[in-house]
Amino acid sequence: MTRKSSSVTIRDVARYAGVSVATVSRYINQNAPVSRDASERISQVMMDLSYSPHATARNLATHRTLAIGLLVPNVDNDIFGPLFRSIEGVLRHEKYILLVATYNPAIWHEVQMPVGPHNTDGLMVFADALRDEQLAQLAQANFPLVVMHRTPDPTLNVPFVTVENELATRKLIDHLIEAHGRRRILFIRGPRTQEDARLRERGYRASLTAHGLPIDESLFLDGDFATETVRRLLVAYLADGKRNFDAIFAGNDLGAIGVLDVLRENGLRVPEDVAVVGFDDSRLARFQTPPLSTVRAPTEDVGRMAALQLVNLVREQPVEQATLLPTQIVLRRSCGCPYDPHSLPARS
């Protein structure tokens, strides 16, 4: 089936895939649903024929939109403010506009992506805002693409920018165990679909194992990085009479805020009865009562690096395939520290 890409047309792709030209066009432009079976056939044929429609189209002045898209699963998290600002600052300097949209990948066959090849020159994807299949479609069509807080399939050659999660969490749990003698640490997970959440859990488990402490599955709660969700989970947990913990890792700072509220409502003192830690070092962390010990994630740097990488991709300039940014442990009163010492590096 192999042919020189310069001679391959959309009609060739349609013929070999056994679909109409219109179906191939919908697949490429992501502007209408295409069945999973047809998508897989089209994707395979495009790879076999080395067909890259957008690489050619981008050479045409009429294809330029001077817009960059950003897809996020929601805008509930406190980190999105600084993330958006840093991205917009880079793009404004580079003479692009930013189009931000929320998207639920669960309905990808019914609802087209609000931003993508049909209205932007490139796309940034936050965490799990797109399915693996959608990332593959965009990558195989050579559409400029950068993902954040997620490691894509290495065969796709999609650049990504993320932060250190596992070692930072491990060191924070180490601190609770070694400095404050905590042994029963309740772990509130983030969304299982998000890489950040999974890596934080790995760090937690690694710390317990290194200290010879058992992995007690009763000390895990399934959260979603949202304050109200964590509140409900912890209220229900305490209502069952479970007070078998002396510390809580809340998954992120928003969850930790919910934890602090529930503990206060139940007459449990922080940190005397229960130590509490979070992740992100959001703008509210230091203003909690008590101030929250957490991990400082360089959110603005993530946005800045992702935007710069994408601009380079659009301009067909070299990019870094993988960017892993360091995090820092910030110790405040909620873990039991009497004051705020200098941040501890989370990477060696």
Nearest Cα to 294, choosing from 332, 339, 254, 325?
Answer: 332
Residues 6+ away with beta carbon under 8 Å from 318 = 312
Q: In which order are the strands placed within the sheet that holds 220-222?
A: 220-222, 185-189, 247-249, 275-277
Residues 6+ away with beta carbon under 8 Å from 226 = 76, 254, 255
CA–CA gap between residue 148 and residue 306 (Å, rounded): 7
pLDDT at 209 exceeding the cut of 90: yes
Tell me if 43 is assigned to some domain.
Answer: no
Structure-token pair, residue 266 = 């139940």
Q: Of 18-32, 74-88, 91-105, 160-174, which range is least confident?
A: 18-32
The whole-angstrom distance between residue 344's C-alpha and the CA centroid of its chain comes to 24
3-class SS letters over the chain? CCCCHHHCCHHHHHHHHCCCHHHHHHHHHCCCCCCHHHHHHHHHHHHHHCCCHHHHHCCCHHHCCCEEEEEECCCCCCCHHHHHHHHHHHHHHCCCEEEEEECCHHHCCCCCCCCCCCCCCEEEEECCCCCHHHHHHHHHCCCCEEEECCCCCHHHCCCEEEECCHHHHHHHHHHHHHHHCCCCEEEEECCCCCHHHHHHHHHHHHHHHHCCCCCCHHHEEECCCCHHHHHHHHHHHHHCCCCCCCEEECCCHHHHHHHHHHHHHCCCCCCCCCEEECCECCCCHHHCCCCCEEEECCHHHHHHHHHHHHHHHHCCCCCCCEEEECCEEECCHHHCCCCCCCCEECCC
Using 50, 70 and 90 to split pLDDT, how confident is the model at 3? very low
pLDDT at 343 exceeding the cut of 70: no
What global pTM score does this model have?
0.80
The pLDDT tens digits of the residues spanning 60-106 come to 444 688 999 999 998 888 899 999 999 999 999 999 999 999 998 88
Read off the pLDDT of each residue in 110-119 and give the average, rounded to a whole number. 86
Taking all residues of the chain, what is their mean pLDDT, rounded to a whole number? 89
Tell me if 191 is assigned to some domain.
Answer: yes
Tell me if 137 is assigned to some domain.
Answer: no
Tell me if 216 is assigned to some domain.
Answer: yes
- Look at the chain and report how many structural domains it folds into: 1
φ/ψ of residue 5, rounded to 5: -60, -30
* CB-CB contact of 252 with 190 (8 Å): yes
Residues 6+ away with beta carbon under 8 Å from 175 = 329, 331, 335, 344
Tell me if 156 is assigned to some domain.
Answer: no
* CB-CB contact of 38 with 32 (8 Å): no
Tell me if 5 is assigned to some domain.
Answer: no
Tell me if 56 is assigned to some domain.
Answer: no
* CB-CB contact of 198 with 206 (8 Å): no
* CB-CB contact of 35 with 26 (8 Å): no
For tokens 């929320």, the residue is 102
User: 251: domain range?
Assistant: 166-297+328-345
Nearest Cα to 197, choosing from 162, 235, 231?
Answer: 162
CATH number of the domain to which 271 belongs: 3.40.50.2300
Nearest Cα to 139, choosing from 116, 162, 110, 119?
Answer: 116
The pLDDT tens digits of the residues spanning 305-342 come to 999 999 999 999 999 999 999 999 999 999 999 855 45
Q: Of 33-47, 127-141, 206-220, 281-295, which range is least confident?
A: 33-47
φ/ψ of residue 252, rounded to 5: -155, 175
Read off the pLDDT of each residue in 268-284 and give the average, rounded to a whole number. 96
Tell me if 253 is assigned to some domain.
Answer: yes
Bridge pairing between strands 328-330 and 294-296: antiparallel
